[in-house]
Amino acid sequence: MTNRFIDKLSGFGALSQPDVDVLAAATSRPRKVAARTDLIREGDRPGPVFVMLEGWACRYKILPSGTRQVLAYLMPGDSCDLHVGLLDEMDHGIQTITPSVVATIDRPQMDMILDNHRAVAKAIYLAQLVDEGTMRAWITSMGRRSSIERVAHLMCELYLRARNIGLTSDSQFALPLSQLMLADSLGMTPVHLNRVLKELRLSGTMLLKRGSLVITDPAKLIQIAGFDENYLHRRLRNAA
């Protein structure tokens, strides 16, 4: 059975067999988690490092008004909160979106891995840099991209990330995100998002169906988004 966490880290640099073995051991006892389950909530004491082996999750914040802002999406192979244990409490929550398989690596074990397996440490730090680049891209979208550019940019990003871990089939992949969740990540109302999705569909660039995304004109979608994939360190155009 493939371990997407090991596969992802291997993409950032060569891992020795001892590196692979220690990662396999650290994630050898995952648990199944139902959809819409909080792995950790804002205000909780930081816990272990979470590793998504199967399924999708998200980071989120709830505002005093009760509205939600989705801060990031976690796909199979992603890990999170490597250094959050240095803080007294979580400043955001993490919740599964789909039924998931999640491994947890406690802090002492993770510290041991980082200290004794330098190739693993480097790969994890590189993965964190990509996460930070993604966060900057989202901030740029919120501040400077138009509504249609913002939606197109996120679709390009999600497609590329899914393709990199083998979740796509040609120009299509399963996208388990409701329009409400997408709106919460784009800073838009569901009604506004629906209008933008219709505009993109009528332009012949993409079609968001229930549970899946079909990109019908990748080059045009990239052009609308002004998408530069350098922050993900992969190439979307190679798939077009």
In terms of domains, do 150 and 202 share one? yes
Do the Cβ atoms of 105 and 51 come closer than 8 Å?
Answer: yes
Same domain, residue pair 158 and 208: yes
What one-character-per-residue DSSP string does 68-84 give? EEEEEEE-TT-EE-SSG
Band of residue 3 on the pLDDT scale cut at 50, 70, 90: very high
Tens digits of per-residue pLDDT, 149-196? Answer: 999 999 999 999 998 888 888 888 999 999 999 999 999 999 999 999
Burial of 84: CB neighbours in 10 Å, binned 0-12, 13-18, 19+: middle
**pTM, rounded to two decimals:** 0.93
Contact at 8 Å (CB) between 82 and 171? no
Same domain, 179 and 100: no
pLDDT in tens, 109-149: 999 999 999 999 999 999 999 999 999 999 999 999 999 99
Q: What is the pLDDT of residues 149-161, one digit of tens each?
A: 999 999 999 999 9
Average of pLDDT values for 43-49?
Answer: 89
Residues 80 and 168 in one domain: no
Tell me, yes or no, whether 235 and 150 share the same domain: yes
The pLDDT of residue 236 is: 35
Residue 140 lies in a domain: no
Look at residue 210 and tell me whether its pLDDT is greater than 90.
no
- CA proximity to 50, closest of 26, 79, 89, 92: 79
- Statement to judge: residues 123 and 158 lie in one domain: no
In the predicted model, what is the mean pLDDT of residues 64-82?
93
Indicate the number of domains in the chain. 2
Domain around 46: 4-129
Q: Are residues 119 and 187 in the same domain?
A: no
Is residue 169 located within the same domain as residue 200? yes
The pLDDT assigned to 238 comes to 41
Q: Which residues pair with 109 in a beta bridge?
A: none
CATH number of the domain that residue 34 is part of: 2.60.120.10
* Pair (154, 101) in one structural domain: no
Query: What is the pLDDT, as a whole number, of residue 29?
Result: 96
Say whether both 103 and 70 belong to one domain: yes
Given a contact cutoff of 8 angstroms between Cβ atoms, the answer to whether 153 and 196 are in contact is no
Integer CA distances (angstroms), 151 to 120, 160, 209, 220, in order: 34, 14, 15, 13
Residue 139 lies in a domain: no
Contact 4, 76 (CB under 8 A): yes
